[in-house]
A and B are shown apart, each in its own frame.
Chain A
């Protein structure tokens, strides 16, 4: 494996388990070079996207670009690399599948296209970590991801970004969820970055399908993060929940959320909370609800501002020094328990958030 020791530490920071003992599959791409793709459980496929299309030409028609077409989104076709992950019908992964997209070279423009397929009644956890080496000055990452959750399928997708001050990132993703399927998507970005713009969409196409999209974002000085999620309720008894937590230490965060009901008998809730820690921080919360029908239940709550003095003083009156009390409140605010992760991932991700 062509990854230096120091870099390995970077990968661990985005939840990558190098021992791979507790993983169902593993994939790493460095700039354009795919270092490996491995599988540890039967019924799970992890392949570089190019090889996957060679092996299964039907992917082109069945999946490639299909989610964007359905959600009316344009996407960049000039990509190189990315992964294809498929969990076969009825297979439930014991451990998460992990993937890492790594930026190594100066000014490199990494553009990947990923496709994730959860077949009927299959269930999987996927953790994707994206990070960069010190040398990758002014680099760029475009991550296109398409998710297909078939009837009765379940996917918990957790993406951790750990970039640096001079990197620009544009994730672009769409998910299509069929009858009774569940799509849980988590996004975590706790490190400085120059710019992130993303607005992933989940289309709940099948009856009784559900989506839960959460994000935990920390923003530092001179950064711009425009991060939103959109869920389209397109069939009876579909429901969506969007939860976002934004903390600004000086950067600008635009926290968007949009739930749109294009079918009656649907439900959605949007919750957006933001904390501004320093004077320079800016948070702009834009929660949107939209319906074409009367018989829907859509709600939202948004609250942004500074940490309440009352909360700090409450903890201080228990003997916790004021500064520590503030740190405790921030950590609690970014509580990863909102992500609904399995225990092994929750522990690892807790470690990531506690280091901030």
Chain B
């Protein structure tokens, strides 16, 4: 479903991603760990096509189509959905307005809004006057209404309290089970693993993938030895 072939990505003048290749099958979840600044978010943003990140080498193939240079909205239409870590505030556009654009019908909006407890924010402007955790719920709400085949989740649980992590985790898991969608998940805390069982896990260090295994195993190793060990990891 997703093939990343030897891409290198520049952000401004600096080379952030250095010759990475990744493969993701349908109905498969890849969990990416890694210290701050290692290039995880850049990888996700490059797949979405966000500007400021230039793919200088390699290709990104989604469902057998080279998407390396196509506009963001087309990627979204093809079935790629992103949950941002820090989305922009947009005044004058209501969450509900966007929801209506994305959903088939109002019932769908209402059901999901209730599940994610975002119903009371629907008439607010996008990401305006919302707490960190609320923003995350609203992000998940939007991206699930898009019904993506590939979910790009950039630290979905950061800034969310335990109770809401469980709400979000369950909704996410339910969506994945139902649609058999694939996902690329960045996590620092690993909390999301309690809800979404990833098939693959890897660590990104300084723009490279240094190790691949089951997410739980990778996460436990990181907890035990820290990221320093990843550099000399035997799975390299």
- Complex Cα distance A320/B87, Å? 16
Contact of B82 among A317, A321, A325 (CB under 8 A): A317
Q: Is A311 an interface residue (CB 8 A)?
A: yes
Chain B residues, CB < 8 A from A331: 92
Q: How large is the interface on A (under 10, 10 to 19, 20 to 34, 35 or more residues)?
A: 20 to 34
Interface residues of B in 83-122 (CB under 8 A from A): 84, 87-88, 90-93, 98, 101-102
Least distance between A204 CB and chain B CB atoms (Å): 28
Which of B48, B73, B81, B90 interacts with A322 by CB under 8 Å?
B73
Q: Is B221 an interface residue (CB 8 A)?
A: no
- Is A293 positioned at the interface, with any CB of B under 8 Å from its CB? no
Known: A318-B102, A331-B92. A313 touches B76 (CB 8 A): no
Contact call B88/A316, Cβ cutoff below 8 A: no
Q: Is the CB of B88 within 8 A of A314?
A: yes
Instruction: Please measure, in the bound complex, the distance between the C-alpha atom of A217 and the C-alpha atom of B91, giving whole angstroms.
Output: 17
Chain A residue with Cβ nearest B127? A314
Give chain B nearest CB distance to A16 CB in angstroms: 26
Cβ-based interface call for A85 (8 A): no
The interface centre, meaning the residue of A309, A314, A337 with most chain B CB atoms within 10 A of its CB, is: A314
Chain B's closest residue to A333 (CB) is: B92
Is the C-beta of A61 less than 8 angstroms from some C-beta in chain B?
A: no
Known: A309-B51, A313-B51, A313-B72. A318 touches B92 (CB 8 A): no
Q: In the complex, A319 Cα to B75 Cα: how many Å?
A: 8
Residues of B within 8 A of A213 (CB): none
- State whether A332 and B51 are in contact (beta carbons under 8 Å apart), knowing that A314-B87, A319-B146, A322-B71 are contacts in the complex: no
- Hey, which chain B residues are within 8 Å of A319, CB to CB? 73, 76-77, 101-102, 146
A332 to B87 Cα, complex, angstroms: 17
Give the complex CA separation of A335 and B88 in angstroms: 18
- How far apart are the CA atoms of A322 and B68 in the complex, in Å? 17
B93 near A316: Cβ-Cβ < 8 Å: no
- Complex contact A308–B73 (CB within 8 A): no
- B51, B90, B102, B142 pick with most chain A CB within 10 angstroms: B90
Can you name the residue of chain A whose Cβ is closest to the Cβ of B148?
A: A319
- Complex CA gap A313/B74 in Å reads 12
Cα–Cα distance between A311 and B90 once the two chains are bound (Å):
7
* A318 to B: closest C-beta gap in Å: 6
Instruction: Report if A343 contacts B (CB, 8 A).
Output: no
Instruction: Name the contact of A310 in the complex, choosing from B88, B92, B142 (C-beta under 8 A).
Output: B88
Residue in A closest to B71 when the chains form the complex, CB atoms? A322
Contact B71 A316 (CB under 8 A): yes
The answer to whether A313 and B93 have CB atoms under 8 Å apart is: no
Query: Which one of B72, B75, B87 has the greatest number of beta carbons of chain A within 10 Å?
Result: B72
Find out whether the CB atom of A318 lies under 8 angstroms from the CB atom of B90.
Answer: no
State whether A325 and B84 are in contact (beta carbons under 8 Å apart), knowing that A313-B50, A313-B51 are contacts in the complex.
Answer: no
CA distance A186 to B97 in the complex (A): 25
A296-338 Cβ-contact flags toward B at 8 Å (1 or 0): 0000000000001111011111111110010011011111010
Contact check, B73 vs A320: say whether CB atoms are below 8 A apart. yes
Write out the residue numbers on chain B whose beta carbons fall within 8 Å of the beta carbon of A329.
Answer: 90, 92-93
Instruction: Tell me the bound Cα distance from A161 to B81 in angstroms.
Output: 42
Most chain A C-beta atoms within 10 Å of own C-beta, residue among B50, B87, B93, B101:
B93
- B121-158 CB contacts (< 8 Å) to partner A: 125, 142, 146
User: Which residue of chain A has its CB nearest to the CB of B83?
Assistant: A317
Given contacts A317-B48, A318-B98, whether A325 and B73 have CB atoms under 8 Å apart is yes
**Is the beta-carbon distance between B91 and A333 smaller than 8 angstroms?**
yes
Cβ contact within 8 Å between B88 and A311: yes
In the bound assembly, the distance between CA atoms of A314 and B90 in angstroms comes to 9
CB-based nearest A residue for B125: A332
Q: Give the chain B neighbours of A311 by CB distance below 8 A.
A: 88, 90
B-contact bits for A38-68, CB 8 A (1 contact / 0 none):
0000000000000000000000000000000
In the assembled complex, the CB of B59 is this many whole angstroms from the nearest CB of chain A, namely 20
Q: Which residue of B lies closest to A312 (CB)?
A: B72
Q: Which residues from A are CB-within-8-Å of B81?
A: 317
Taking CB atoms, residues of chain B closer than 8 Å to A309 are 51
> How far, in whole Å, are A337 and B50 apart by their CA atoms in the complex?
31
Q: How far is the CA of A331 from the CA of B93 in the complex (A)?
A: 8
**Contact yes or no, A332 B90, CB < 8 A:** yes
Give bound CA distance, A351 to B6, whole Å: 51
Query: Using Cβ atoms and an 8 Å threshold, which residues of chain A touch B71?
Result: 316, 321-322
Chain B residue numbers with a CB within 8 Å of A320 are 73, 101
State in angstroms the CA–CA spacing of A310 and B71 once bound together: 14
What is the distance, in angstroms, from B154's C-beta to the closest C-beta of chain A? 12
Residue in A closest to B50 when the chains form the complex, CB atoms? A313
Q: In angstroms, how far is the closest chain B Cβ from the Cβ of A243?
A: 12
Q: Is the CB of B146 within 8 A of A318?
A: yes
Given A313-B50, A314-B84 in contact, is the A321-B91 Cβ separation under 8 Å?
Answer: no
Residues on the B chain within 8 Å of A335, using CB:
91-92
Question: Can you report 7 residue pairs joining A to B where beta carbons are below 8 Å apart?
Answer: A310-B88, A313-B72, A316-B71, A321-B73, A322-B71, A322-B72, A332-B90
Closest 7 CB pairs of A and B: A332-B92, A335-B92, A319-B76, A316-B72, A332-B93, A316-B73, A310-B88
Q: Which residues of chain A have a CB within 8 Å of any CB of chain B?
A: 308-311, 313-322, 325, 328-329, 331-335, 337
* Extra pairs beyond A318-B101, A319-B146, A335-B92 (16, CB < 8 Å): A311-B90, A316-B72, A317-B50, A318-B76, A319-B102, A321-B73, A322-B72, A322-B73, A329-B92, A329-B93, A332-B91, A332-B92, A332-B93, A333-B91, A334-B92, A337-B92
